[in-house]
Amino acid sequence: MVKVLLFGVTGVIGREVARSFVRRGHEVYGVTRSESKIKELLQEEINGVVGDAADPSTWTSLLEHVSVIIDTSAGYSDPTKAAYKLLEDITSAVKQYPKKRFTFVYTSGLWVYGEGLGKTVDETSPTNAIKAVSYRPEFEQKVIESTAFDGLVLRPGLVHGRSGSIFGVWFSQVETGSVTLINDDQTRIGPIHADDLAETYVNAVERIQVTKGQIFNLANRQTENVTDVIKAMARAANVDVKITYQKATNPFEEALGLHGPTFDVSKAISVLGYEQRRPGVVDGMNRYYKSWKAHQQ
């Protein structure tokens, strides 16, 4: 059994990662800024801790109990500053336990590849990160090259399932009968179900002697056309939807308007045992819509 300190435990990725570790017999300490979330976490057999990734005084004492640190959080106001500060704080904190070897898992993402319609990329391909995540390629290297801990980087695609993440935003728009997408009808995403992703986090940690110092892409084998996704949502919701297109007005919209490449996940399959068990977004849309709808009640 490993004991895990998890940042971002109430997020779309973090909650499922925590559940997966618990299901596999591990113990999780999940840091949340909200006191009201503690009961929910305890119901999932997750040790909820009120704290903030940006404030090490709220979590460094937990390092006495854990050996794995996972960051699934997102510093939305200044993600670059938040990421580097957390890395600095972790590096400093683990040095207080010289007889203990820690693992640090950083959650990056496939947006580091930028545009790439018609191309196939893997972990050896050059990155071309969009503005929203421009800091990540350099930051990833600092994580995997650190001597303070055993670092590894996971790059998930666009996460779907459960409460929906960005897919939840699209569901909400579809129900109004009008959706505005970015750029045109050729944009593509590399999705991954939250459960498939979460199980792979556990595999990566359990195989740390093999996975340390590496980067892994994680997505379904097939990318999906965003316009096709919206149309499938409309069918599932049984509504007529008008789709319009506009140019990106901010870095996040730029990310949603990518004509993304296909992602080769052979490395994750062979090393991490990654497996896509859930249907793709369009194929599984009826179940995903019902799940999202239930989360709104």
Phi, psi of 162, rounded to the nearest 5 degrees: 60, -125
pTM: predicted TM-score of the whole model, two decimal places? 0.96
For residue 74, pLDDT over 80 is answered with: no
Phi, psi of 150, rounded to the nearest 5 degrees: -90, 110
Q: How confident is the model at residue 53 (pLDDT cuts 50, 70, 90)?
A: very high
For residue 86, pLDDT over 90 is answered with: yes
Kindly report the three-state secondary structure assignment for every residue of 49-69: EECECCEHHHCHHHHHCCCEE
Render the burial of 90-127: b for 16+ CB within 10 Å, e for the rest: bbebbeeeeeeebbbbbbbbbbbbbebeeeebebebeb
Report pLDDT digits (tens) over 113-142: 999 999 999 999 999 999 999 999 999 999
Alpha-carbon span 290 to 85, nearest angstrom: 39
**Cβ–Cβ under 8 Å, residues 115 and 78:** no
**Cβ–Cβ under 8 Å, residues 28 and 68:** no
Q: Hey, what CATH topology would domain 3-164+190-221+260-278 get?
A: Rossmann fold (3.40.50)
What confidence score (pLDDT) does residue 163 get? Answer: 80
Other C-beta atoms lying within 10 Å of the C-beta of residue 193: 23
For residue 232, pLDDT over 70 is answered with: yes
For residue 80, pLDDT over 80 is answered with: yes
What confidence score (pLDDT) does residue 78 get? Answer: 87
What confidence score (pLDDT) does residue 217 get? Answer: 98
**Cβ–Cβ under 8 Å, residues 194 and 16:** yes
Summary mean pLDDT of the chain: 96
For residue 144, pLDDT over 80 is answered with: yes
What confidence score (pLDDT) does residue 165 get? Answer: 85
Mean pLDDT of 133-160: 97
Q: How confident is the model at residue 166 (pLDDT cuts 50, 70, 90)?
A: very high
Sequence-ordered list of residues with C-beta below 8 angstroms from that of 109, at least 6 positions apart, any chain? 133, 136, 155, 156, 157
Give the residue with greater pLDDT, 218 vs 78. Answer: 218
What confidence score (pLDDT) does residue 185 get? Answer: 97
Q: Give me the amino acid identity at 187.
A: T
Report pLDDT digits (tens) over 279-294: 999 999 999 999 999 9
For residue 271, pLDDT over 90 is answered with: yes
Sequence-ordered list of residues with C-beta below 8 angstroms from that of 219, at least 6 positions apart, any chain? 110, 156, 157, 190, 191, 192, 263, 265
Q: Give me the amino acid identity at 133.
A: V
Positions of E strands within the chain: 3-7, 27-32, 47-50, 68-71, 103-107, 120-121, 150-156, 158-160, 178-182, 188-189, 191-193, 215-218, 224-225, 242-246, 262-263
What confidence score (pLDDT) does residue 75 get? Answer: 65
Report pLDDT digits (tens) over 174-214: 999 999 999 999 999 999 999 999 999 999 999 999 999 99
What confidence score (pLDDT) does residue 241 get? Answer: 97
Q: How confident is the model at residue 76 (pLDDT cuts 50, 70, 90)?
A: low
Alpha-carbon span 176 to 237, nearest angstrom: 10
Assign 193 to helix, strand or coil.
Answer: strand
Mean pLDDT of 241-248: 97
